[in-house]
Structure 1
Amino acid sequence: MRSIELVLDPASDAAVRSAWSALVAADLPSLGRHPSPSNAPHVTLAAGEGLPVPRVPAVPLPASVTLGGLLLFPAGPGRSVLVRAVVVDRALAAFHEAVHEAVRGTVPASVVSTLPGRWSPHVTLARRVRDEDLPAAVAALRSAQLPEVLGVGGVRHWDGGTKTVTPVV
Structure 2
Amino acid sequence: MRTVELLCSPELEEAVRAAWHRLAEAGLPSLARNIHPTNRPHLTLASVDEFPPGTEQRLADLCAAALPLPTRLDRVAVLSGNAPLVWLVRPGPQLFALHGAVWDVLAEAPGPHPWHLPGRWVPHLSLALRFGDADRRRARAVAGLDRPAGEFVAARSFDSDTRAVSDLTATGPRLSG
TM-score (norm 1): 0.86
Q: Is the 8 A contact 1:16 1:146 kept in 2?
A: no
Q: Is 2:62 aligned against 1:57?
A: yes
CA distance in 2, matches of 1:119, 1:107: 18
The number of equivalent residue pairs is: 163
Root-mean-square deviation (CA), in Å?
Answer: 2.0
Q: Which amino acid aligns with 1:41?
A: P
Seq. identity, %: 34
Per the alignment, residue 21 of structure 1 pairs with 21
CA offset at residue 20 of structure 1? 0.2
Kindly report which structure 2 residues correspond to 1:15-164, keeping only aligned pairs within 5 A, or say none: 15-51=15-51, 53-55=56-58, 56-57=61-62, 60-75=66-81, 80-106=83-109, 108-109=111-112, 111-142=113-144, 144-147=145-148, 149-164=149-164
> What CA deviation, in whole Å up to 9, does each residue of 1:47-100 have, x standing for no partner?
011135352217522522222222211355xxx311111122111111111211
Note the residue ranges of structure 1 that are not aligned, 5 or more in a row: none
Q: Is the 8 A contact 1:69 1:85 kept in 2?
A: yes
Q: Is the 8 A contact 1:86 1:122 kept in 2?
A: yes
Greater fraction of residues in strand: 1
CA distance in 2, matches of 1:44, 1:124: 10
Q: In 2 relative to 1, CA 139–61 (structure 1 residues): closer, same or farther, beyond 3 Å?
A: same
Q: In 2 relative to 1, CA 93–54 (structure 1 residues): closer, same or farther, beyond 3 Å?
A: farther
Moved over 4 A (4+): none
Q: In 2 relative to 1, CA 54–96 (structure 1 residues): closer, same or farther, beyond 3 Å?
A: farther
Q: Which amino acid aligns with 1:151?
A: E
CA offset at residue 102 of structure 1? 2.0
TM-score (norm 2): 0.82
